[in-house]
Structure 1
Amino acid sequence: MEDHPYNATQQDPDTPFDGAPAGGWGSLKGVARITGEAKPSAVAMKILGGLNKPGGVMCSSCAWAKPAKPNTFEFCENGAKATLWELDRRRVGAEFFAEHSVETLRGWHDHDLESSGRLTEPMRYDPGSGHYKPVSWDEAFAEIGRELAAMSPKEAVFYASGHAGLEASYLYALFARAMGHQNLPQSSNMCHETTSVNLKAAIGTPVGTCTLEDFDHCDTIFFFGQNTGSNSPRFLHVLKEAVDRGCKIVTFNPVRERGLIEFADPQSPAQMTVSGPTTISDHYYQVKPGGDIAAMAGLMKCVLAAEDAAPGTVLDQDFIAAETTGFDETAARIRATDWTEIEAESGLTRAMIEEAAEVYLSADRAIGIYGMGLTQHVNGWLNLGMLVNLLLMRGNIGKLGAGISPVRGHSNVQGQRTVGVGEKSAHMPADKLKELFGIDAPTEEGLNAVHACEGILDGRVKAMISLGGNLVRALPDRERMEAAWPKLRLSVHVATKLNRSHLAPGKVSYILPCLGRTDRDIQAGGEQAVSMEDTFSHIYGSIGQAEPPSDQVKSELAVVAGIAKATPPPNPALRWDEWTANYDLVRALIARTFPDDFAEMNEKLMQPGGFYRGNPARERNWQTDSGKAQFTTPTTLSALGGKPAGKDGMTLVTLRSNDQFNTTIYGFSDRLRGLSGGREVVLIHPAEIERLGLEEGQRVALETLIDDGVNRRVEGLTVTSYDLPPGCVAGYYPELNPLVPLSYHEKNSQTPAYKGTPVRIVA
């Protein structure tokens, strides 16, 4: 096979590159650096030793599984960073805020804000002085409750990041509906809501179908748009084991990510010294941004051709006939699609796609893995539909060693949806709310993140309660949103550390400090555990072990219950004080509200490996409108909302560094990409730099090529050579969020299209 100029097997020697594998000594050095910076307490090593193990702390970083038989060290570089960052000995209280005004803090870098330390006491913003000032919990709860009661329920929005446990999340969702609204946006609105909406339509489940067991039996794994090395490094151990037993891995991604190229297990003395790293991907194809639909169309075309050559031996005809609908129309469209179109849209040659198809055709059991490279596109619905199509063709959903598996980012982002944090009535059963609490739940759908932002911009939304997270920084159209946020009547932030969102206070604004996952949670009923759900629908209990940063810091559940109790009118069926004293009572409510998923939840909470809440599609129980798995007929070969126009039009892909978790910036090293220093960069292939008349190191701006009356521009970016497909530029999230319009999103879920925004470089 002749190498395609932008998809060569080897890294371009003229672009930044770290020759070290994912894991290895680099990972250990990264942990050592953050340990020195955060100066964690002595209990940190004890917590790390028990991290992700039964009876220990469940990592607050990614949502990867916690195995029943854990490794000696069941944590990765990211997990260690998140844990040590939370165990920070530095403190932020009244003295800090007296010294630093909000205006002064706006000039600080995001990294510096969070590295100031743990929040220690409730604070209220004083508009007259421009400072946050201390306030008692009783005063804070009373005023927040009065403010919420004074407005229409639909004017309030309750946002949740993926941090809070199932118990606090359930009460949060209950509080919103008791108040009379379903405005419950969540961090998945920015990443995997495309999954929740479109996977549900295709196969009847809003989550992936795989469990850890499937990786012991699969013959091949196809990756699309997922960066395991930076986003879920413990997955690398599973991939290494799969490769060692002969599993073939094929990756499609515009960026060559080290974690899917090679991995050195930090827990293997041999790999750390003499034997060398494990090669992860047998084939790695640098597909164009938005080109995954075309690549999958090519793979499907190869499967159909193989069936034509040997009828009855390639397609799973019995499965297709009994379990699916829409195959004939989809197959006809794929057959009619020309290879010239497929090559043009994917950026890959026919030979490359045929090479990948040979791996798929040789495998009896295949898993499809994807991340935000598929979900954060205007046509993300079709990205997912095409991956489902490919798997359905050979019966690769609903059998051991096969399935579709989105890799979720935040540790409990999936679980929060499961227990009711969501804008739809279907997220929390109205009949149960009536039976248990006498609540007539609202029937009108609430606001997701995009719709809530539109409400802030036009004045319909008056209050924003944020249970964790850094929403202002995570949103698209960030400059417009930061300017609009102070128009809110009420803004409340429940947080462990200071972040950028706290510096855009509303008319009445609070920062309420909460316990982290690592902190001991002692209530009137004794020491409490919290729970969370992983990306494979398993539920785990977590018990904090560190002393809280101060005696004024409350648990997330206690904060939610305190605000709810102070918000009129009272409802004696809502026993906020009892639930705060004993989280077992909350888990019993979760089990009664969602009996199919959480039966005997308290009894199973500390089960090694978690307890599985099940997945109907895994059993080939298709809870779709047709009662069958749905083939999706492609209407386009591009996931982009529109092609960048003109010679200088480019497609922007936003990235996270391996020194970052969501909006939290641990440092300025992107070791796995060979980059370090400032984050204000624009990555571009050397040939594209030459074509556009630019120079390495030149300072430029990026402008958005969407004409909606708003000029979106980010300046001060340094041109940096990098191995990317033609027509593509890349840069860091959240620094480049201002370039993504609020209206530019996946069409069914409103997930922002961070992986395919049309831009141009302005010298």
Structure 2
Amino acid sequence: MAEQKDLPHAAGPAGGWGSLRGIAHAYGDALPSPAALRSLGRINKPKGVMCVSCAWPKPANYSAFEFCENGAKATLWELTSARCTPAFWDEEGHTVTALRDWKDHDLEKTGRLTHPLRYNAATDRYEEVSWDEAFAAIGATLNALPKNSAVFYASGHAGLEASYLYALLARVHGTNNLPQSSNMCHETTSVGLTKVIGSPVGTIVWEDLAETDAFFVFGQNPGTNSPRFLHPMKELKDRGGKIVTFNPVIEQGLVSFVDPQSPAAMLTGKETAISDQYHQVKAGGDIAAILGLCKCVVEADDAAKAAGTAEVIDHAFVQQHTTGFDSFIQSCRDADWAEIERESGLTEAALREAAAVYIAAEKVIGVYGMGLTQHAHGALNIAMLVNLLLLRGNIGRPGAGCCPVRGHSNVQGQRTVGIAEKAHLVPLDKLKELFGFDPPTEDGMNIVHAAEALFEGKVKAFISLGGNLVRAVPDQHRMEAAWAAQDLTVMVSTKLNRSHLFPAKQAYILPCLGRFETDEQATGPQTITSEDSFSMISASIGYRAPVSESVKSELAIVAGIAKATLPPLPTLQWDAWTADYGLVRDLIERTYPDDFRNYNKRMYQAGGFYRGNGAHERVWKTPEGKAVFTTPDALNSVGFQDAPGRYRLITMRSNDQFNTTIYGYSDRLRGLEGSRDIVLMCPEDIAEAGLTDGQTITLITDVADGHDRRLSGLKLTAYQLPRGTIAGYYPECNVLVPMQHHDALSGTPASKSVPVRVEAD
């Protein structure tokens, strides 16, 4: 077990009273009405509201409090009593240019947006505009531009109904430019898993959590990013199971946990030790680490054969369900331990200890997050984890499988219903049959392609269904300039964010309902649905009064833009769909009949309804018709060579954060308080570089492409990390990530291994 050694930043356990204090602080900062606390009781329950935070599933047998610290913060932040009305822009110092000096936290603290806004370049301020004026101007501008110069981006906030119509809007307009927030996080999963098991998503269901013998966790931090996952982890430990973690940073959620739903644990402070083994792998060293585990499995199987004892590899499964086995096994046998140790940063003894747990466990779930996906060879990271699972038949049976943990509530579902830039992922023939138009068949742009086209002046308009894209993407300074040079930006938002502060020639902010608010349409209150990480579809029913009579639902906004932009076709019934979202669900069912059978009838089912997953049933939808073993052609995933003075930068999120939303400046689970302007480095590297703990430094991207990327004013902070690995906060460090530094297969930014140099200020 790794422990913080002689450093001042050791923190207490995840959960417990610290979690409650974090919620209380968010409550005090957001200042919602007292009734907002009752809203927490409705989260992740039938006829309630799916959490607006991460995509961790809700159980059918739910508890009284089916939310975590992050979910509570996200809820209270949305239900703030603060309002950002048009009068905000009349106040002194509230020009767009002046607001660029504000912190992200302070921008959002201005409160919920209440009216549609249009940018006035003459005054450098936003001003109120009517919905009809906004829709008409947006439609006229889109129709005056080349179709493929417009990009329709979506974050994971909007429900399946609005997402389906948004994709339809883009395709009737004539483009597949439908990038989505998964392009920046788990697109590597979508592409990488599809290549090797034929499924773009994880293979497990909720019941598997209770049957597994072990979790092998790679590059995922449940304490900060998905705290409800800590309960299944605790339950596994309570029944004698094992958890083995590979992560460069020691994360307290993977060290110890006090269950805040247990009165006894809260009274006594009783901690559950989460990880039986914690291996601080070097940033980008997971390929080598997993290869070492697989080598141990192969050696154990060879020894078992020689001794005439039970096989270790599930050869019957391998023969029936996989391809590429012989080549991969040979690569394991040929792998050199010295190279594995050098590339992983772990010893042979440590990897053998971890492999012993894997071999002894009958059923294993492989868990991972963006620590695997956001690398130049992220898809190979995922393929290697699949290799490990395939060796012992740990995919497609109870208690075993692959579990990518998604970071946004409906990011997976939006892809399911058609928000995708790759034409082959969408049933275009069904759309043609249903709506009587010829959908575009050329692939559109993902986020990287769209950003590069922005830099070249080829993208003229960006529509954003949620999100804070300018702040979320790499190469932030270049992105800000290119974003403002467009003819049109349209942002569907609930609060102010940094992307609003770089308006195009025409720029609109369109305020939308939050998920907790009543969505009243012509036929009455409406329900929206979303998909979680386990492919379960669940309904959300808002019940709170909207923040303003002038806000619209995301679906109504999409329909309003569509009516103003698209030619009138009798099949495009935007008004009817806005009046009754059930009609949209009927369309989704007709478009995707296998996934959404009896959609309207099943959406209130406790725990959601399962849309299915072939790999879960050992149906492999790959070209080979089998799961694929991948022979690695690299031992690290970073995509660059190590050199003297060059470090591998990890960007990470704090405990007081969700994506680009910053709730405060406490990162209590890492023992860091009061600032986000820090960089973590191990004491040995600090000393070798001639620096001192606490001094102010600058990070400079070590890429020779003609662009100077640097971030100054960072406090150097001694922390227990592998040699050569340093860490800083996202999104602040996005200025250091080159747009071209991304996963080779999926285009996902490689934000977990950025080549940088360190200079004293």
Q: In which range does the TM-score fall when normalised by the shorter chain? A: over 0.9
> Equivalent residue for 1:128?
122
Match of 1:263 among 257, 260, 264: 257
Letter in 1 for 2:653: R
> Equivalent residue for 1:166?
160
Paired residue secondary structure (1:238) = helix
> Equivalent residue for 2:351?
353
Paired residue secondary structure (2:594) = helix
> Equivalent residue for 2:722?
725
The answer (yes or no) to whether the contact 1:368–1:405 under 8 Å persists in 2 is yes
How big is the shift at 1:426? 2.6
Paired residue secondary structure (2:732) = coil
Q: Hey, what's the Cα distance between the residues in 1 that align with 2:498 and 2:739?
A: 19
Match of 1:28 among 11, 20, 23: 20
Letter in 2 for 1:253: N
How big is the shift at 1:334? 1.4
1:97-135: per-residue Cα shift (whole Å, max 9, x none)?
Answer: 122110111111000000110000000000111010100
Q: Hey, what's the Cα distance between the residues in 2 that align with 1:662 and 1:361?
A: 36
> Equivalent residue for 1:54?
46
**Does the alignment pair 1:140 with 2:134?**
yes
1:130-175: per-residue Cα shift (whole Å, max 9, x none)?
Answer: 0101000000000001011111110100000000000000000011
**Does the alignment pair 1:545 with 2:543?**
yes
Q: Hey, what's the Cα distance between the residues in 1 that align with 2:702 and 2:672?
A: 27
The answer (yes or no) to whether the contact 2:488–2:505 under 8 Å persists in 1 is yes
How big is the shift at 1:275? 5.7
How big is the shift at 1:427? 3.0
> Equivalent residue for 1:5?
none
Q: Hey, what's the Cα distance between the residues in 2 that align with 1:570 and 1:199?
A: 40
Letter in 2 for 1:656: R
Q: Hey, what's the Cα distance between the residues in 2 that align with 1:358 and 1:275?
A: 32
Q: Hey, what's the Cα distance between the residues in 2 that align with 1:614 and 1:208?
A: 11
How big is the shift at 1:743? 0.2
Aligned residues: 754
> Equivalent residue for 1:244?
238
Match of 2:658 among 642, 658, 661: 661
Q: Hey, what's the Cα distance between the residues in 2 that align with 1:14 and 1:568?
A: 61
> Equivalent residue for 1:186?
180
TM-score, structure 2 as length reference: 0.98
The answer (yes or no) to whether the contact 1:43–1:546 under 8 Å persists in 2 is no
Q: Hey, what's the Cα distance between the residues in 1 that align with 2:229 and 2:3?
A: 24
Name the CA shift for 1:275/1:24 in 2 (closer, same or farther; >3 Å): closer
**Does the alignment pair 1:672 with 2:669?**
yes
**Does the alignment pair 1:11 with 2:4?**
yes
> Equivalent residue for 1:72?
64
**Does the alignment pair 1:221 with 2:215?**
yes
Letter in 1 for 2:361: A
Match of 1:207 among 176, 179, 201: 201
Q: Hey, what's the Cα distance between the residues in 2 that align with 1:588 and 1:535?
A: 23
Q: Hey, what's the Cα distance between the residues in 2 that align with 1:541 and 1:446?
A: 30
How big is the shift at 1:736? 0.5
1:417-442: per-residue Cα shift (whole Å, max 9, x none)?
Answer: 00000101133211111111002111
> Post-superposition, which runs of at least 4 consecutive aligned residues in structure 1 deviate over 4 A?
none
Q: Hey, what's the Cα distance between the residues in 1 that align with 2:432 and 2:423?
A: 13
Deviates more, 1:271-280 or 1:403-412: 271-280
Unpaired segments ≥5 residues, structure 2: none
Letter in 2 for 1:588: D
1:594-647: per-residue Cα shift (whole Å, max 9, x none)?
Answer: 00100111000100010000000011100001000000000011011112322x
Letter in 1 for 2:67: F
1:381-402: per-residue Cα shift (whole Å, max 9, x none)?
Answer: 1101100000000100010000
How big is the shift at 1:333? 1.1
> Equivalent residue for 2:606?
608
Deviates more, 1:308-317 or 1:120-129: 308-317
- Aligned Cα root-mean-square deviation (Å): 0.8
Q: Hey, what's the Cα distance between the residues in 2 that align with 1:131 and 1:302?
A: 63
Letter in 2 for 1:739: L
**Structure 1 residues 238-637: aligned runs within 5 Å:** 238-274=232-268, 276-311=270-305, 313-637=311-635
Q: Hey, what's the Cα distance between the residues in 2 that align with 1:39 and 1:56?
A: 23
TM-score, structure 1 as length reference: 0.98
Deviates more, 1:704-713 or 1:498-507: 704-713
The answer (yes or no) to whether the contact 1:644–1:759 under 8 Å persists in 2 is no
The answer (yes or no) to whether the contact 1:53–1:66 under 8 Å persists in 2 is yes
Q: Hey, what's the Cα distance between the residues in 2 that align with 1:383 and 1:662?
A: 23
Q: Hey, what's the Cα distance between the residues in 2 that align with 1:16 and 1:181?
A: 50
How big is the shift at 1:9? 2.9
Deviates more, 1:273-282 or 1:392-401: 273-282
Unpaired segments ≥5 residues, structure 1: 1-7
Q: Hey, what's the Cα distance between the residues in 2 that align with 1:359 and 1:316?
A: 16
1:320-365: per-residue Cα shift (whole Å, max 9, x none)?
Answer: 1110000000111111110000000001000000000000000111
The answer (yes or no) to whether the contact 2:117–2:129 under 8 Å persists in 1 is yes
**Does the alignment pair 1:111 with 2:105?**
yes
> Equivalent residue for 1:685?
682
Q: Hey, what's the Cα distance between the residues in 2 that align with 1:96 and 1:460?
A: 34
Letter in 2 for 1:24: G
Q: Hey, what's the Cα distance between the residues in 2 that align with 1:443 and 1:755?
A: 34
- Between the two proteins, what is the percent identity of the paired residues? 61
Letter in 2 for 1:652: L
How big is the shift at 1:484? 1.2
Letter in 1 for 2:397: K
Match of 1:751 among 732, 735, 748: 748
Q: Hey, what's the Cα distance between the residues in 2 that align with 1:322 and 1:90?
A: 60
The answer (yes or no) to whether the contact 2:155–2:181 under 8 Å persists in 1 is yes
How big is the shift at 1:11? 1.3
Q: Hey, what's the Cα distance between the residues in 1 that align with 2:60 and 2:566?
A: 45
Q: Hey, what's the Cα distance between the residues in 2 that align with 1:399 and 1:723?
A: 38
1:630-669: per-residue Cα shift (whole Å, max 9, x none)?
Answer: 00000011011112322x1111000100100000000000
